[in-house]
Amino acid sequence: MSEQNITLPDVGEGLTEAEIVSWHVAPGDRVELNQVIVEIETAKSLVELPSPLEGVIGSVLAEEGQTVEVGSAIVTVQTDGPESPAPATVTTGLQAAATPDPATPAPAVSSVSAEAESATADTASTIAPSNEGEGSVLVGYGTGGHASSRRRKGLAARRPTPPASVPAASAGPVIAKPPIRKLARDLGVDLAEIEGTGLAGEITRDDVVRQASQASVFRNIETPEWGDSREERIPVRGVRKAIANAMVSSAFSAPHVSLFVDVDATRTMEFTRRLKTSPDFAGVKVSPLLVMAKAMIWAVRRNPMVNATWTDEEIIVHHFVNLGFAAATPRGLLVPNVKDAQSMSLLELAKALEQKTLEARDGKTPPADMKNGTITITNIGVFGMDTGTPILNPGEVGIVALGTIKQKPWVVDGEVRPRFVTTLGASFDHRVVDGDVASRFLADVASIIEEPALLLE
């Protein structure tokens, strides 16, 4: 028996360090090849790391909450037989995929594709031959067998017993991946109360989010007591560090100019209600944000300078829209973007926004989805805010904030009537966008919110 180190791999995000979130094994546990052993947090996502070795866990070299550099040893494994060469390169679903069967279509690179989630409840990884004789490449999210095969040795004894209040006849064990279980904990959802809709009966992200109303996702449920200490010190790392660097870079490099306009959104509310009852949109989340997204795309075509990138040598005007949206998640603010949103139908855009929102809340947004955005929406209305002065997403020259939509007195044809009113707030990079262009763009967005039928022209 020999002892070998497992090191923190490069998960393909161009990052140099990650934080240990939770260990799935302990010293003395026996691990199998590709068994998930630890969950790490990078500046962009949560990633489960599988083991490239079989054997018994020796020592855990990095504690939960510790930040570890790529290449550092994080755990030792006592393997059977003589000492072998260094273990195969560990990759995840965010990185390279295994060599595919020529007769089988290549799987998506992202570990969070809807197909991967709905196809199986198995999070075990797969081994495939690598190129150039480098040994096996470990793929963090591959196809698997039956759901029961994903139970890990050494963990079953530590799993808590289901509450006594759950009826014994409640359809057997809960089948859900670790990220889904974490999402349920974050949202306060009891998985035992959910009937899974996955092909193998597993619980999906959609199942969890449907169980928890959107209004309660980030609402302050209770007022906690202060602890015994007079202060709390929170290390600046991970997502918070990435947010801070991005906001400082944007605020102090791009001269911001902000505009605001009140809008009668009554017809947008009527339009979204009709969409919700349409068979074509059955099971798809529809909200005023969808109309806002379409309005932004329409207004960009009429005012292309707001969909640009500034460099010291030139202004790059994009003839496509990678529409970003600020997503508040339990881990912090993320800004994924929908690629080529200008080519999508209203239904396709609704599905894309819903999928990427779920991925962001679950900490599984692929790094590629947070790059190369061209313009951004931030929906502060979900928090009850009327408006704000948003900071530009780095590399972009325009961002629009959608405020809360609520009934207010509004003058219509000389009479005061109750109407659904919202406020749009927008910021622009004044190096690129002049006041007249910014004003025309925001007026165009407002015109669609006031009359969504203009989108049909």
Instruction: Give the separation between CA 143 and CA 157, rounded to whole angstroms.
Output: 26
Q: Is 437 exposed, middle or buried (0-12, 13-18, 19+ CB in 10 A)?
A: middle
Matching residue, tokens 């659904």 = 420
Question: 103-110: which pairs have CB atoms within 8 A and are 24 or more residues apart?
Answer: 109/366, 110/366, 110/368
Cα 198 to Cα 25, 206, 207: the distances in Å are: 27, 10, 9
Cα distances (Å, whole numbers) of residue 181 to 175, 188, 209, 219, 267: 9, 10, 12, 20, 39
Q: Which of 146, 318, 319, 430 is catalytic?
A: 430
**Helix (H) or strand (E) segment spanning residue 48:** strand 46-50
Helices and strands per DSSP (H, E), number in the chain: 8, 20
Rounded distance between C-alpha atoms, residue 247 and residue 391, angstroms: 7
The DSSP bridge partners found for residue 375 are: 323
Distances (CA, A) of 289 to 3, 211, 379: 54, 21, 7
Cα 230 to Cα 336: distance, rounded to the nearest angstrom? 37
CB of 368 closer than 8 Å to CB of 13: no
Euclidean distance between CA atoms 240 and 244, whole angstroms: 6
The residue among 78, 89, 80 whose CA lies nearest residue 135 is 89
Q: Residue 155: which residues within 8 A CB-CB, separation 6 or more?
A: 24, 25, 29
DSSP 347: H
Q: Which residues contact 95 (CB under 8 A, 6 or more apart)?
A: 10, 11, 12, 109, 140
Name, in order, each residue with C-beta under 8 angstroms of 417's C-beta and a sequence gap of 6 or more: 409, 410, 411
The yes-or-no answer on residue 430 being catalytic is yes
Give the active site residues.
Answer: 430
